[in-house]
Amino acid sequence: MHLHHSPAPDRGLLRIGVVSGVLGVVIALVQSAIDPAYSDDPAKAIAQASLSHFLTLSRVLDLTAFLLLLVSVSVVTSAFPSRRGASWARLARTAYVVSATAGAIATMLVGSLPDVASSWVDATPALKPGYVAVYDALGDVSGGIFSVSWAALGLFGLVFAVAAFRSEQFSNPLAGASAASGVALLGAVVIGVGLHVPVAFVLLILGLVLSYVVIVASSVRTWRLAGAAGTTSATLEQVS
């Protein structure tokens, strides 16, 4: 008797997803730890940026983390069983692509600030205010784009929670963590942009940390399930 079964996802590809997720989270945490804090006053901030190279290093780490986490999410969402949350997983992947793209653009804008600061140092006194204005404008634009990135990441959290719940291969706590991440991030954007309340920063950090947990846990879980499915598939082939 021949038994039909769905092929297990490629474990090598899933292993790449796991490694990318773990490395992405580690790099993101390192980036957060070394990310320099500058004054809210543009004139003081540009002077601080001109004296340090940590901002450039921080942005390189940020871009690397975005890329690695995007690889991990793409692998995990591509491994969902058909008719078991697969369509929701694809929608979640699209939201994450938007988040990562917006985050990368904002990161590159912030990464240009040291160059502006360097030019400010060499500029004549008459031209310095112009560089300060450019520095301030780039900071404001990058902040707005980061808000888009966080909002899209929040949407990813909510949609991935639905996909995880419908797939039956993830636990309800993981789906709940994803949903909580989405609510926290969207709340941070709404409160931070609309009301400018300090608690928005706490929600942002909570949402980001939960999203990291969800990405790593889901990639590890998918890899383990693929291994179990591969073993079952081999056994069924021998029996048939």
Tell me what pLDDT residue 69 has.
Answer: 95
Q: How many other CB atoms sit within 10 Å of the CB of residue 70?
A: 21
How many domains in the chain?
A: 1
Which regions of the chain does DSSP assign to beta strands (E)? none
104: its two tokens: 């990368």
Which DSSP helix (H) or strand (E) runs through 125?
Answer: none
Tell me what pLDDT residue 228 has.
Answer: 60
User: What whole-number distance in Å separates Cα of residue 158 and Cα of residue 84?
Assistant: 16
DSSP string, 27-71: HHHHHHHHPPP--SSHHHHHHHHHT-SHHHHHHHHHHHHHHHHHH
Taking the chain, what is the end-to-end CA distance rounded to the nearest angstrom?
A: 6
Is residue 90 assigned to a domain?
A: yes
Q: Cβ distance 69 to 213 under 8 Å?
A: no
pLDDT of the chain along its 240 residues, tens only?
A: 344 444 556 778 888 889 999 999 999 999 888 887 778 888 888 888 887 777 778 888 999 999 999 999 999 998 887 777 889 999 999 999 999 999 999 999 988 888 898 899 888 889 999 999 999 999 899 999 999 999 999 999 999 999 999 887 888 999 999 999 999 999 999 998 877 778 899 999 999 999 999 999 998 888 887 766 554 444 434 444
- Please state at what angle helix 113-122 crosses helix 128-167, rounded to 10 degrees: 170
Each residue of 173-204: b (16+ CB within 10 Å) or e? ebbebbbbbbbbbbbbbbbbeeeeeeebeebb
Is residue 110 assigned to a domain?
A: yes
Residue 71 neighbours by CB under 8 Å, 6+ apart: 16, 17, 20, 24
Tell me what pLDDT residue 107 has.
Answer: 92
Is residue 212 assigned to a domain?
A: yes
Is residue 5 assigned to a domain?
A: no
Rounded to the nearest angstrom, the gap between the alpha carbon of residue 105 and the centroid of all alpha carbons in its chain is 13
User: What whole-number distance in Å separates Cα of residue 206 and Cα of residue 189?
Assistant: 13
Instruction: Give the residue numbers spanning the domain of 213.
Output: 11-233
The SS3 call for residue 1 is coil
Is residue 32 assigned to a domain?
A: yes
* pTM score, whole prediction: 0.87
Is residue 175 assigned to a domain?
A: yes
User: What whole-number distance in Å separates Cα of residue 46 and Cα of residue 96?
Assistant: 32
Is residue 73 assigned to a domain?
A: yes
Q: Which residue has the tokens 């992947």?
A: 93
Tell me what pLDDT residue 7 has.
Answer: 52
Is residue 6 assigned to a domain?
A: no
Rounded to the nearest angstrom, the gap between the alpha carbon of residue 136 and the centroid of all alpha carbons in its chain is 25
Tell me what pLDDT residue 6 has.
Answer: 47
